[in-house]
A and B are shown apart, each in its own frame.
Chain A
Amino acid sequence: MEDIITVRHLTKKYREVTAVNDVSFAVQEGEIFGFLGPNGAGKSTTIKMLTTLLLPTSGELWLAGTDVVKHQSEARKVFGIVFQDPSLDGDLTALENLQLHAVLYGLDRRKAALRTEELLKLVELWERKDSLVKTFSGGMKRRLEIARGLLHHPRILFLDEPTLGLDAQTRNLLWNYIGKLNREEGMTIFFTTHYLGEAEAVAHRIAIIDHGRIVAFGTAEELKNQTRTDSLEQAYLQLTGTAVRDETVSSADSKREMIRRVITNR
């Protein structure tokens, strides 16, 4: 199997904090890869760098043979992403959100229309295609985001805590889709989660990041053997400790939080 994601000596420094510290790993094509770590460990920063939202301070990032730093536009065509927070336009309908995405990714109009219908049916939103997204529940939005992330046939799908805040039914449905996509289209899945049971059940391989460094890497089985524990949760706690972290948020995150507060208070 070929490596589709390659990260070499990746470092991201904010003024005084080193969020990601000399991280190297590789993900194989067709793999479901779990990227775990406590809050503030560097997960989101790594995903942002992999998806061109942040520039690394140093190090190399490759997606499907494309240098992410040097050829951003090309790299962006390779992956789809479902963000931790919603990123849909609530004033547009489900269909319009997907159509906009199709044009941004330069897809052929007729093919995109077929793919849109197929995906909306897959995520069971076809009946609601003409409803404004602001009328959707959290689970429906997440499903729509997944459909949108898949629209341009990405070879890699990034999922940043895709099941956060969803009920067991929706979580189950979601992992079923993802498993299906992985098996049938050979799509590489790179996900983060705080639900370790979930990671143990679906991930082929797992990396655990803590304090900006990779502290463990391998299959769930290997991590358990390595730590002599019987569940990934125990292995994880042994590797990262039981102390609760004070998340060091980036300045953008804290500002975003501030806006959210201001807006909800109005």
Chain B
Amino acid sequence: MQAIYILWLRQMKKYRRSGLRMVLSIVQPLVYFLALGYGFNYIFEKAGRGSYIQFIVPGVIAQTILFTSIFWGANIIFDKQFGFLKETLVAPVSRMTVMLGGSLGGATIGVIQGVALFLIALIFGFHPYSWTALAGTLLCMAMLAFAMVSFSSAIGAVVNDMPSFMAVTNFLVVPLFFLSGSMFPLDNIPGVMKVIAAVNPLSYAVDAMRATLIHQSHFGLATDFLVMTGTLIALTIFSVVRFRRIEA
């Protein structure tokens, strides 16, 4: 436990010291929120779907977390390259501890970014349907962040160079994001896209956030959390297995 805590603390310290990067990483989702939110709001309302600004906030929060978390594995590559990983690999702690400590750090950062975006959205007039349901949103953020960080760490454990890592993650992140219903409702899209969205785990995270933030759901909250829990467990195990196989 102590070891997990100190590895988490390490990531927190590094994050706090990252300075401008902390602020910059929020800019991209903020642009999505403002440009698309205000850009499509009129059409969305005309189509009788209500406020697009309300609709897009859960999607943009999910996006922030996805983008921060899926590139987390780059830190594993840096730890390999700068040698720090060896320090943890020869220490009398399990590989699982090493993986969990780092991933909890990455997930915490993801949640911080998600909450920051939520607070900014409040300033721009977003209003959640219920303040108590926000607890569910927070849980959903944490689960999404941890699942994606674990997945990314596993890629970081397998791949040894940054170009390959970026190629793999970039290949995954765009379809994951755009085919998740984060930017549009899933009920009136062509069948193929519907199928893709239904097998995309991110769809369920977006849906759960939409359910807890604006009380709209496509799959139903129970299904959302069931799929998210399954994904979380599977990706965590995958990551632990990949960490066990790292050889220095």
Instruction: Please tell me if B132 contacts chain A, counting CB pairs below 8 Å.
Output: no
Tier of interface size on chain B: 20 to 34
Q: Is the CB of A252 within 8 A of B160?
A: yes
How far apart sit A173 and B6, CA to CA, in the bound complex (Å)? 32
Q: Is the CB of A103 within 8 A of B3?
A: yes
B81 to chain A, nearest CB (A): 5
Q: Is the CB of B77 within 8 A of A105?
A: no
Q: Which of A163-198 contact B (CB under 8 A)?
A: none
Instruction: Please tell me if B91 contacts chain A, counting CB pairs below 8 Å.
Output: yes
How far apart sit A106 and B90, CA to CA, in the bound complex (Å)? 14
B-contacting 9-mer, from A33-41, A46-54, A121-129: A46-54
Q: Which of A1-60 contact B (CB under 8 A)?
A: 48, 51-55
Contact with A along B139-183 (1 / 0, CB 8 A): 000000000000000000000111100000000000000000000
B137 to chain A, nearest CB (A): 31
B85 to chain A, nearest CB (A): 8
Q: Is the CB of A73 within 8 A of B2?
A: no
Instruction: Please tell me if A255 contacts chain B, counting CB pairs below 8 Å.
Output: yes
Instruction: Please tell me if A246 contacts chain B, counting CB pairs below 8 Å.
Output: no
How far apart sit A103 and B3, CA to CA, in the bound complex (Å)? 6
Instruction: Please tell me if B229 contacts chain A, counting CB pairs below 8 Å.
Output: no
Count the A residues whose beta carbon is within 8 Å of the partner chain — how many? 38
B-contacting 9-mer, from A88-96, A199-207, A208-216, A230-238: A88-96
Contact of B83 among A83, A104, A258 (CB under 8 A): A83
Complex interface: chain B residues within 8 A of A87 (CB):
82-87
Instruction: Please tell me if B80 contacts chain A, counting CB pairs below 8 Å.
Output: yes
A-contacting 9-mer, from B10-18, B106-114, B206-214: B10-18
Instruction: Please tell me if B125 contacts chain A, counting CB pairs below 8 Å.
Output: no
How far apart sit A203 and B160, CA to CA, in the bound complex (Å)? 36
How far apart sit A255 and B158, CA to CA, in the bound complex (Å)? 12
Q: Is the CB of B91 within 8 A of A53?
A: no
Complex interface: chain A residues within 8 A of B82 (CB):
86-90
